[in-house]
Amino acid sequence: MKIVVLKFGGTSVGTVERIKRVAAIIIRFINKKYKVIVVSSAMSGVTNDLIKKSKELSTDFNSAEYDALVSSGEQMSCALIAGRLNHLGYKSRSWLAWQIPILTDGNHRSARINAIKTNNLKKYLNEGGVPIVSGFQGINSNKRITTLGRGGSDASAIMLAKYFKAKKCVIYTDVVGVMTTDPRVYKKAKKIKIISYEEMLEMASLGSKVMQSSSVQDARLNRIDIDVKSSFIKKDGTLITKRKNITNNKIITGISSTKNDAKITLVGIKDKPGIAASIFKPLSENNINVDMVVQNISADGKETDLTFTIKLEDLNKTQKLVKLNKIIKYKNLIIDKNVSKVSIIGVGMITTPGVTFRMFQALSKKNINILVISTSEIKISVLISKKYVKKAVSTLHKEFNLDSQDEH
């Protein structure tokens, strides 16, 4: 059985006209002799409206009821797609997670799929049916509906592709694919034709909204190739795949930038073993993610300055936790809200010397001062003043020849 999983995001099913277009895309795959499993998100805006209603009713809305509520948007869009396909003469029906079933574990609002029972859907596919599956949801051991968190419909599609051994998984969205950088920051951003799981993971974790990191990780662990493309235009998108399938010679694949970081510096901390752990433990316990960290030791080795970055939304909570921390002593606390992180990402840098130098030299020529640096095998991130983000991105885009091709 040649199976394809097609996932449609909220904007792709946002109106009746768009649902008609989605039905036409599904029929194209049917005509190519695929057995099609469709996964749909809720129509754009519906889930946010449901969340708003829950907040108006309670400041601590019951988690199980929250999942039952916010998962209902997918039920509506799936029924509409199936209804349209029936109208056009195709056998189709909507499937909720409990009807398949899609089994999850973990907490409400952030459950993970641990198994999908395939018998019911396989029988339906063999009968010539087109199942329209509600994304973003599952069912737990207590037979309660669970939701999979942000990007959950992508996770639904990827795990269905795994359990049904699909030939491909296509994620339809409102963009043409994964871009070399955010087009709103730099207008000459290009579409990336092919990108590795690792590069996509870095880009997703650094703010690319095309896919959530957890969904990319699911695809990577299960070796599911993903096509990301627009539901609005008939053009090739971006293929997310394993490294060995990529033969291009690009050193850098993409550039990301953030606009919601804050930098905190603790000046004059008494330097002793375990002091960094004492600072970061309360932050970890309060689910505050610390990103870039730099420590400067004084010449006599008795004091240290510790700088780290967090999300701007966590700034007030972080300041409180630092000030309430009786274990640490410091001379001053300095806050900088006007910072942004700019990162270059690419598996090519593993085998190419001099990438760090080129990045730093290019920024230096434009008088862009680097405040903090962090690196991984395929990523170099720098913290700079927020006002230089556009200049930094455009400079690095040119430096690493991402401007030079129509697509890569």
| Mean pLDDT, 10 residues at a time, the chain of 408 residues | 96 97 98 97 96 96 97 98 98 98 96 96 98 98 94 94 96 93 92 94 82 89 94 94 82 92 93 87 93 83 89 94 90 95 94 94 97 92 96 96 70
d(CA 357, CA 380): 11
What pLDDT score was predicted for residue 270?
83
Q: Exposed/middle/buried for 195, CB within 10 Å: 0-12, 13-18, 19+?
A: buried
d(CA 362, CA 357): 8
What pLDDT score was predicted for residue 150?
81
Residue 221, token pair as written in the block: 């662990």
Q: Is 3-174 a domain of CATH 2.20.28.120? A: no
Helix 72-87, helix 16-31: angle, nearest 10:
60
Question: What is the SS3 assignment for 262?
Answer: strand
What pLDDT score was predicted for residue 210?
83
CA-closest candidate to residue 197, choices 135, 253, 128: 253
Residue 104, token pair as written in the block: 């999850």
Within 8 A by CB and 6+ apart from 250, the residues are: 346, 348, 400, 401, 402, 408
Q: What is the distance between the terminal CA atoms of the chain, rounded to a whole angstrom?
A: 33
From residue 234, alpha-carbon distances to 169, 230, 407 in Å are 17, 8, 16
What pLDDT score was predicted for residue 406?
54
d(CA 192, CA 208): 13
CA angle 373, 378, 381 (to 5 degrees): 20
DSSP 399: H
136 close to 74: Cβ distance less than 8 angstroms: yes
d(CA 283, CA 286): 5
Residue 85, token pair as written in the block: 């396909």
DSSP state letters, 83-146 = HHHHHTT--EEEE-GGGTTEEEES-TTS-EEEEE--HHHHHHHHTT-EEEEETTEEE-TTS-EE
> What are the structural domain ranges in the chain?
3-174
Whole-structure pTM value: 0.86
From residue 405, alpha-carbon distances to 192, 229, 283, 369, 397 in Å are 10, 19, 44, 29, 11
CA-closest candidate to residue 265, choices 214, 303, 209, 208: 303
d(CA 133, CA 128): 16
d(CA 346, CA 196): 9
From residue 217, alpha-carbon distances to 109, 151, 199, 230, 305 in Å are 19, 12, 11, 22, 35
Q: Which residues pair with 138 in a beta bridge?
A: 146
Q: Exposed/middle/buried for 384, CB within 10 Å: 0-12, 13-18, 19+?
A: buried
